Amino acid sequence: MDTPTLPVLERIASALERLSPPPATLEGVDTADAFVWLPERGRLLPIPYVAHVPVDLLRGVDLQRKILIENTEHFARGLPANNAMLWGARGMGKSSLAKGAHALANQVAGKPCTPGKGAIALIEIQREDLATLPLLLSLLRENPRRFILFCDDLSFEKEDRDYKALKSVLDGGIAGRPENVLFYATSNRRHLMPRDMIENERATAISPSEATEEKVSLSDRFGLWLGFYTCEQDTFADMVRSYARARNLTIADEDLMARANEWAITRGSRSGRVAFQFIEDLTAELAEH
């Protein structure tokens, strides 16, 4: 080989080395109790503070709250626990309950204020990164900490194949689900896929009963399947009053509810999210006077 070509090849090799992703690692896993999984970097991004609503402020979801908190606390104590799917109406506290249950479990474990010392670490994974779950699990399996993998707003479209990676995780595969890992997900769809897609595939498939079974049955692989439903007027009022008391807002109840109902009408719905947004606006308004 000609000597002049060697520097060129060395530069090419150096460039390829820079472009190749670094080896995946759990470096820094003891620095926080919440992370975001960055598969392109093979790293966990520490999140010093998880934005969540205290679970005792959530209204209209008493049974769901009780079940999920118990499941999470069992997991924190090293007892058997189930993967959980929280599905249903928008704005009714699915994500807030999942994050709040994690925070409460760490408080019950007696280590709420020391970063990286909580009984459970929460790891958020984006829906588009589900294909990297096997890599992440291989890292978590050998770590002494306990982890909840959290995927918010989970759903699948017709040509989506990432559900197979999730199904493998829920089923455990050959290696089995790591004993120190749970999977919590939220979705607005009961079966994680649009109803028209289910009906269309059943109508056009050679074997309609099998056409969507693999995708639809994915939701059945969650040990806990908790439904969240649109709230009634009384529940909405309870939500508003609960948030107002937590903020120590000085306002007559009649005026509070009149304004809350007007706010809900302009949003076209009643939910915990709408109630919280109303209280945010009202808190700022009252602070100006």
- What is the model's pLDDT at position 134? 87
Q: Are residues 280 and 210 in the same domain?
A: no
Q: Which residues form the domain of 258?
A: 233-288
pTM of the model: 0.82
Domain boundary among 228, 251, 278: 228
The answer to whether residue 24 is domain-embedded is no
Least confident of 170-179, 230-239, 265-274: 170-179
The answer to whether residue 196 is domain-embedded is yes
Q: Are residues 89 and 200 in the same domain?
A: yes
Cα gap 189→128, rounded to integer Å: 17
- What is the model's pLDDT at position 155? 79
Q: Are residues 124 and 266 in the same domain?
A: no
Q: In terms of DSSP H, where are the helices of 85-126?
A: 94-108
User: Between residues 71 and 208, which one has the greater pLDDT?
Assistant: 71
Domain boundary among 207, 228, 249: 228
Tens of pLDDT along 82-122? 999 999 999 999 999 999 999 999 987 665 556 666 789 99
Q: Are residues 142 and 272 in the same domain?
A: no
The answer to whether residue 190 is domain-embedded is yes
Q: Are residues 102 and 167 in the same domain?
A: yes
Q: Are residues 49 and 133 in the same domain?
A: yes
Helix (H, G, I), strand (E, B) or coil at 228: strand
Categorize the per-residue pLDDT at 211 as very low, low, confident or very high, splitting at 50, 70 and 90. Answer: very low
Tens of pLDDT along 140-150? 998 999 999 99
Domain boundary among 185, 211, 228: 228
Read off the pLDDT of each residue in 27-47 and give the average, rounded to a whole number.
Answer: 93
- What is the model's pLDDT at position 88? 92
The number of folded domains in the chain is 2
- Res. 230: pLDDT tops 80: yes
Q: Are residues 162 and 262 in the same domain?
A: no
CATH number at residue 58: 3.40.50.300
Task: Give burial (CB, 10 Å; 0-12/13-18/19+) of 135.
Answer: middle
Q: Are residues 170 and 43 in the same domain?
A: yes
The DSSP string of 28-81 is TTTS-SEEEEETTTTEEEE-S------GGG--S-HHHHHHHHHHHHHHHTT---
Which among 58, 61, 60 is positioned nearest to 233, based on CA atoms? 60
The answer to whether residue 21 is domain-embedded is no
Tens of pLDDT along 198-209? 445 445 444 555
